[in-house]
A and B are shown apart, each in its own frame.
Chain A
């Protein structure tokens, strides 16, 4: 038997790495299914179809807070309801056909006609897109809506000459993509591996030959393949990353987890007593020891939230006065107890708080089976709330069941994510917009806790109608003040943006020292900024 094993071993030599090929693990899949449709709304298309094979007109760089012109060389608001974009003259599709304004107009027409392909929900505010000549497009809005700029500019553009003949773009697998992006040529496609080679007609200089994607099915396996030096770029959660990964080869094994992900909130169903009382929500917030939550649930990868519920991605927008002034997120059990007493939730004889009618108060904190970080956070929170006399029990649900109940408003307390974008508009819209509130029992896509504020709605309407950054900044300050006063949801901690890289074979990744873009490949469309800057290591 040993002879046989030795034979097997000798027959499986390690092939040396091809220079200039970046090995990336972004999706965790056991085997690849061939799909490069950038308009696929299900997530069934392989990474980096939407930002790598195809490209948008411009990219909002969430690391620097600046817009980077991409397929458009420039764009501006002509007036409140018109966006004009000049397209680059030198762009060609990967089959050699020139890229023109007709492609952009075609893409928008397709997306607006088929609502299923409209991931940005542009149908709500875009009236139509018109091609002016060969390299200029005009986007007509049906009402002033400044937050929609990101959705418009980030729409991946598809070639009209290929897609006009597709019967059903929803079901189109697009196995041999024709795109404008840096990596368009499918060199290999097998269940365990695929490779994308460089676009022969790409409009920028790219130093990388190809991107290679081994199928890796779990977080542990991503960690191991990083350790073995098989992967150059990944976006996985790795526990205790300094000890497990970075310290093993400090020269090459690098990571960067900036706190620019979405804010994680504790949502209380504000249609149900006692959570309809702002004092109760603030008491819950004061009872939570966020530094313990962050330590136990998140390995200290993140920090306790600020008072306005914004992650570092909004550092230009945070009103330091509001954020610094407010103490509603500081851990203070005495204050929590006082607020609960004030709200009428008096301590009963059994050491547990009761409703104002003297009934026992039992609270369920829903968690998602298998989301171990959130489960740990929920456990800490349940214990914290127990210390101020609230009878909180955590119960885990399967993701589908949890999400269904969340959407219908059938929960009491739960952890949840929040919306994010270039401005704080989507965040506060999701947290407090009156228009987003659905009746109980009817599925909601945001504002699950069902908190509507007329004042916030007025601010949101003013915000969406203006394109002036200073005015928007003032409105954002008002929103923060309102959020702190009404406490519609309880901010816990910002999510880190997971990103690991190795510099043994490839250089040029963004890092804390060179934060030119977001490192994590998980956020669309930022990876384009990274893949066009990578180069083989010297």
Chain B
């Protein structure tokens, strides 16, 4: 393990650099959008404010006409202090407060779904490769690949309509029952699980296929390697060969893919959340774009960037643990 720590630190340095680039893009892109947030807000409200009042509002929102570099430095220093500014769409609530209503739900739903899909997909992939040509290998990959070809939100709409509306088996909206006080109680936890089931299911269905195919293909290659034949010849238990020798080696590409997938799943989760009125960040993002709410947009992109970079760093750690050659 001696080489592992410097290597992980090096990677960490790289992530800081990537984070800074993301922050900068985060600053630039909203400012390249045409339009004036104060004017858009008034259009929404059909108000009749005077031009002086509009200017006063712009100043309150923190939309300054100062030079770009000045705005950029202000932005960086504020972000470092954890101050994401005041939301315009939810004025005068601070962005951190607005994000607080949805962030944990998105992390819970998308994170949970991606972990389940990853675990399920890789296990199925390993088993399908082990018994290749068997019934599992014949049915699961094409079925899952077929389901995976649908966009998340479409599956979500079908699931909501069929299981939620027509059959009435699952709730159609919200993260927990409206009359349940959020607390660490059985009622609350079970209500959360019950409400998360359909949205999570659609995300798992849509993304399991990719993991399974990837795992199966690598696994078949690994199973043909000499060391597997040797392990089998030595008479090691088949289960041990399957999981400790073959699967561990075949897992590496999937683990690397995991960090990348998180970004995609997050973006897919945003749409799923809208379908199920799940109180996550999906609708917030749309709302912030519509209202030209730069601070809120930046806040959401920042959390997504942080989540993806953080997940990739964790993936690095796992890769190091799995594969001594990367140390």
Contact = CB atoms under 8 A, between A and B. Distances in A.
A304 to B, nearest CB: 24
Which of A9, A40, A41 has the most chain B CB atoms inside 10 A of its CB?
A41
Given A11-B190, A43-B45, A30 B57 contact: no
Interface string B57-88: 10010000000000000000000000000001
Interface string A217-239: 11011001101100000000000
A30 B33 contact: no
Interface stretch (B7-15, B214-222, B274-282): B274-282
Contact of A11 (B42, B187, B280, B282): B187
A191 B101 contact: yes
A7 interface: yes
Nearest to B59: A116
Nearest to A446: B48
Given A30-B273, A399-B290, A401-B34, A115 B60 contact: no
Nearest to A420: B46
A510 interface: no
Contacts of B45: 41-43, 119
B322 interface: no
Contacts of B193: 8
Contact of A119 (B48, B91, B97, B186): B48
A44 B174 contact: no
Nearest to A120: B48
A30 B178 contact: no
A2 to B, nearest CB: 12
B114 to A, nearest CB: 19
Interface residues on B, range: 35 or more
A11 B172 contact: no
Contacts of A214: 174, 178
Contacts of B172: 221, 224-225, 228
Nearest to A191: B101
Given A12-B177, A400-B33, A191 B277 contact: no
Given A11-B194, A41-B49, A116-B60, A399 B40 contact: yes
B159 to A, nearest CB: 13
A173 B177 contact: no
B50 A124 contact: yes
A456 to B, nearest CB: 19
A121 B191 CA distance: 48
A399 B165 CA distance: 33
Contact of B194 (A12, A190, A220): A12
B283 A217 contact: yes
B97 A8 contact: no
Contacts of B179: 15
A491 B40 CA distance: 24
Contacts of B39: 403-404, 407, 443
Nearest to A37: B92
B165 to A, nearest CB: 6
Given A12-B191, A119-B47, A33 B60 contact: no
A405 interface: yes
Interface string A172-188: 11000000000000000
A12 to B, nearest CB: 5
B182 interface: yes
A398 interface: yes
A166 to B, nearest CB: 12
A42 to B, nearest CB: 4
Nearest to B157: A220
Contacts of B177: 12, 15
A498 B287 CA distance: 21
A508 B6 CA distance: 73
A347 interface: no
Interface string B14-35: 0000000000000000000111
A97 interface: no
A512 interface: no
Contacts of B225: none
A31 B101 contact: yes
Given A8-B193, A12-B190, A218-B274, A30 B283 contact: yes
Contacts of B98: 33
A221 B174 CA distance: 10
Given A119-B48, A120-B48, A399-B40, A8 B194 contact: yes
Nearest to A44: B91
B92 A173 contact: yes
Contacts of B194: 8-9, 11-12
30 contacts: A9-B194, A11-B186, A30-B101, A30-B102, A30-B280, A33-B93, A33-B98, A35-B93, A40-B91, A40-B92, A41-B45, A41-B47, A41-B49, A42-B57, A42-B88, A42-B91, A43-B41, A115-B52, A115-B56, A116-B49, A118-B49, A190-B182, A191-B101, A192-B175, A216-B173, A217-B273, A224-B165, A227-B165, A228-B165, A404-B35
Closest 4 CB pairs of A and B: A400-B35, A115-B53, A121-B48, A30-B283
Given A43-B45, A116-B60, A118-B50, 10 more contacts: A30-B282, A115-B52, A116-B57, A170-B60, A192-B175, A217-B277, A218-B275, A224-B173, A400-B37, A445-B42
